[in-house]
Amino acid sequence: MKMVTALFALSLSATASFAQTGASDGSRYGHGQVSINCLQNISIYSEYVKTNNFKDAYTPWKSVFNEAPIAQAGTYTNGAKILRWFIANEKDAAKQKQYFEELMKVTDLVILDFKEIDNEKHKKLTGCPNDNIVQMAKWLSDHGKDMWIRHVLVPDLSDFDEDLDKLNEFIKTLKNVEKVEVLPYHTLGKFKWENLGIKYTLEDTNPPSAERIDNANKRLCAGKYACKG
């Protein structure tokens, strides 16, 4: 009886060891039936993604992400596509928040553009307030997510010393800002508007001068961010 019990226990141990997930043992796909299921789920969700059927791709993708997070790079790139679709189409705020937090789990770095730190000027420039951008930056900081901050420099629209300084003061309050970039306005995309027959709204706007670009770079500590404190 003791021998049977011992063999039964050994059998259970062997079954457990050969049915581990990749997340638990550090392997690529896991072992045993788990690895077979993982490969099947990769095939299933990949085919759904190819046809933009993100709704049906979600469940098999989520299984792969949870059980075999290092199976392939596509787990992250396809996961981002799937989750962005759900965020855009979900009406329930709680579920939308869930999908957003899952998206952040497959994201290593967020590049965040600030058109204008002054809310009223941002409204005038874009037609929308900048509250969601500010909140996003704070969320990323609170959750330890690395980010780059970019500022588009447009003469007479987003190139004001007081606002550049205000933006830098805000950036100083954020953790995990790896880099700050100044993006000087240019007219390289003007032809796209013309080809579409749309009036180019910055027709009379010239690119910023070298002096103003240098000024913005200095005020924002552009490059690898080192203006903390």
Determine the pLDDT at residue 229: 57
pLDDT at 10: 35
The number of C-alpha atoms within 13 Å of 104 and in the hemisphere containing its C-beta is 17
Laid out side by side, the sheet with 146-153 consists of: 109-114, 146-153, 177-184, 223-224
Give the chain's end-to-end CA distance (angstroms, integer).
71
The pLDDT assigned to 185 comes to 93
Helix H or strand E segment including 182:
strand 177-184
* Residue entry with tokens 């290593």: 108
pLDDT for the residue 19: 61
How many helices (H) and strands (E) are present in the chain, helices listed first? Answer: 11, 4
| Owner of token pair 């939308």 | 96
Question: What pLDDT is stored for residue 163 in this prediction?
Answer: 97
pTM of the model: 0.80
pLDDT by residue for the chain (229 residues), tens only, comes to 443 444 333 333 333 445 678 778 888 888 888 889 999 999 999 999 999 999 999 999 999 999 999 999 999 999 999 999 999 999 999 999 999 999 999 999 999 999 999 999 999 888 999 999 999 999 999 999 999 999 999 999 999 999 999 999 999 999 999 999 999 999 888 888 889 999 888 888 899 999 999 999 999 998 887 776 5
* Pair of tokens at residue 187: 């007219």
CA angle 226, 178, 222 (to 5 degrees): 55
Residue 54: closest CA among 103, 97, 7: 103
Return the pLDDT at 194.
86
Report the alpha-carbon angle 62-64-67, nearest 5: 105
pLDDT score recorded for residue 5: 40
Burial of 224 (0-12, 13-18, 19+ CB in 10 A): exposed
Residue 65's pLDDT is what? 95
